[in-house]
Amino acid sequence: MTNNDILKRVRYIFDYSDEEMITIFDSADYKVSRSLVTDWLKSEDHEDYKDIHDDQLASFLNGLINTKRGKREGVQPKPEKILENNDILKKLKIALNLKTEDIIVAFKLAGKPVSSHEVTAFLRNPKQNQYRPFLDQYLRNFLNGLQLKHREGK
């Protein structure tokens, strides 16, 4: 999945407007214009389409954490220069205050059940033996499950 796809999916899941997207970036101390946000959300074949880089998506996810959970005291975390799918899962887990069981439910809603051992392996430090990379198909299914949970009835 591209970073733009992830941004579009998160926006759709929570039905964020352009203004809300700008506010989320702003809460992570990252200034964006409405035109830049809309360029990120355009289809890849559109002439104004722009790629969102890892550090920009990390800023958005950090802002989502600040928006949903409140800004923590002191210095804000720096956005990662390289953002892996495992990092995206961790940031969404924190922002949405998800427990392992909630992540398992999201996968189940998407029709792709995972075990608690798999989920904890995705959340581990890459240096640990039990670590597993959170591949694109897992991320796609997780986002599908979140969409089914949060957009149900809308």
**DSSP secondary structure string for all residues of the chain:** --HHHHHHHHHHHHT--HHHHHHHHHHTT----HHHHHHHHS-TTSTT--PPPHHHHHHHHHHHHHHHH-PPSSSPPPPPSS--HHHHHHHHHHHTT--HHHHHHHHHHTT----HHHHHHHHS-TTSTT-----HHHHHHHHHHHHHHHSTT-
| pLDDT given for residue 95 in this prediction | 96
pLDDT tens for the 154 residues of the chain, in order: 999 999 999 999 999 999 999 999 999 999 999 999 999 999 999 999 999 999 999 999 999 999 999 888 878 889 999 999 999 999 999 999 999 999 999 999 999 999 999 999 999 999 999 999 999 999 999 999 999 998 875 5
Task: State phi, psi for 110 to the nearest 5 degrees.
Answer: -80, -5
Residues 92 and 144 in one domain: yes
Residue 80, in any domain of the structure:
no
Structural domain for 146, as ranges: 85-150
Instruction: Quote the pLDDT of residue 153.
Output: 54
Number of separate domains in the chain:
2
Which token pair is 8?
């579009």
- Please check whether residue 116 is in contact with residue 104, taking contact to mean a CB–CB distance below 8 angstroms: yes
Note whether 65 and 38 are same-domain residues: yes
The answer on 34 and 59 residing in a single domain is yes
Handedness of CA 88, 94, 97, 98 (dihedral sign): positive
Token readout for 122 is 């995705």
Q: Are residues 64 and 91 in the same domain?
A: no
Cα distance between residue 98 and residue 96, in whole Å: 5
Same domain, 89 and 145: yes
